Amino acid sequence: MPAAPAEILSNSPEFTVSELSLALKRTVEDTYGHVRVRGEISGFRGPHSSGHCYFALKDDSAKIEAVIWKGVHGRMRFKPQEGLEVIATGKLTTYPGSSKYQIVIEAIEPAGVGALMALMEERKRKLAAEGLFDEARKQLLPWLPEVIGVVTSPTGAVIRDILHRLEDRFPRHVLVWPVRVQGEGSAEQIAAAIRGFNALEEGGKIPRPDLLIVARGGGSLEDLWSFNEEIVVRAAADSMIPLISAVGHETDVTLIDFAADKRAPTPTAAAEMAVPVRAELFVEVASLSRRSLACWQRGQDHRRSELRGAARALPRADALLDIPRQRLDRASAQLPRALRSNAHAYERRLSAIGGRLTVTTLRTQIERGKEKIERLTAGAQRCARLHIQQRETRLRYVAQLLNALSYKGVLERGFALVRDAEGQPLHAAASVGAGQRLSIEFADGRIAATTDGDAPPADAPKPAAKPASKRTTDFGVRKAQGDLF
């Protein structure tokens, strides 16, 4: 009889979940340690906040999870992009946490030229939408630059071709910024060179170029891919120095060609665009000089002919002076008669005026003047008498007012004014001490006196002295006057 299922299972080794997951991981990694997988990127939404990238590779019938660690992603030349068919190189491993296998990608590249072209077209549409390829942004190339900056590899044939072509056409000062033109980090070097030339100061130790040439020889689309990178295109579009793009051969097209101010089919053609041919300029200058001299000679001949014609058309000097001479002779003949006529006219006018000027007329004028003077004199006298009367009336009024306010009127009524030795009026007995000399003024004169008797007690209050009032008369004089009351 066959054994029971339980008996069969009891003979198999027993694993924990972790042990089984670890065994599967070792098996997968040992068998598929290094693989290249072709597929379409699916589910890529950009790097995670940690910097790692998570997505899937798929084809028509299968899908495998993929991961790119942060450090590897930063060094990648081609970055993953949703929908792009790529060839991924890495190692296969498992993820025990979800019981699935995945590929850890170490390198990634587009799957063929078609994928690169699709990526290039999509990038071109994006940058064109930002206006980086607009014709309005492009600058005119200088006709004869003093300094030319070249961004290229210092060891290739491109720089030699450019230097030889410039030497043949018109030697110029050339500054070479050496860069890698393909491979890892080449795009960053090219962009840094363009920005570095633009950062040079005018009149600095290193001269600032008047024109830039970014050049590279021919190659495949993969070889020229550095000039399709977004960092290079933006650097070319931002350049304030006019820039010529000379990448590849005539049939090669890169995105820097659209951002540059001018595209040259080859590096040699870029050198031809940069400068004119010196020998041709010499020939053209000589030709212009000859033409200018010939034009000047023809102009001189033409002006000389016009001068001769104008001289023939002018009349003789005698003919020009004939009529003025006749007018002068006629005026000379008429001058004596005119002087006599003018003298007669003034004589008649003087006689007419003299006839009107008689002795009677003069007397009449004098009498009228005298009458006018007498009228003015009488009026002035009347005004003077009236003014004097007004002043006398005002003076009498002021005198009466002064007499009414004067203290002498009070003295005439029998009062007396007592002053101290300094001449200040005294208003109370308390202010007079024993033996004090006084001056007493009556209406008819003054007498001197000395006080007798006891002095007033020391604690007797003394009246406050009143300040002398100042009065102003109509004559503008201020006079101090004491108060009798």
Say what the pTM is: 0.48
Torsion of CA 215, 218, 223, 228, to 10 degrees: 50
Q: What is the DSSP string of 74-130?
A: HH-SSPP-TT-EEEEEEEEEEETTTTEEEEEEEEEEESSHHHHHHHHHHHHHHHHHT
What is the chain's length?
485
pLDDT tens, the chain, 485 aa long: 455 555 555 567 777 777 777 777 777 777 777 888 888 888 888 888 888 999 999 888 888 889 998 888 888 777 787 777 788 888 888 877 777 788 889 888 777 666 677 778 888 898 999 999 999 999 999 999 999 999 999 988 899 999 999 999 999 999 999 999 988 788 999 999 999 999 999 888 999 999 999 999 888 887 888 898 899 999 999 999 999 999 988 888 899 999 999 999 999 999 999 999 888 888 889 999 999 999 999 999 999 999 988 888 887 777 778 888 888 888 888 888 889 899 999 988 888 887 777 778 778 888 888 999 999 999 999 999 999 999 999 999 998 888 878 887 788 888 888 888 888 888 888 888 888 888 888 888 888 888 886 555 555 455 555 454 444 444 344 444 444 43
Domain range annotation of the chain: 12-111, 143-280, 349-405, 406-481
CA-based nearest residue to 474, from 388, 387, 399, 393: 399
Q: Class assignment of domain 12-111? A: mainly beta
User: What CATH superfamily is the domain 143-280?
Assistant: Succinyl-CoA synthetase domains (3.40.50.261)
Collapsing DSSP states into helix, strand and coil, what is residue 295?
A: helix
Q: Do domains 12-111 and 143-280 have the same CATH topology?
A: no
Burial zone of 247 (CB within 10 Å; 0-12 exposed, 13-18 middle, 19+ buried) = buried
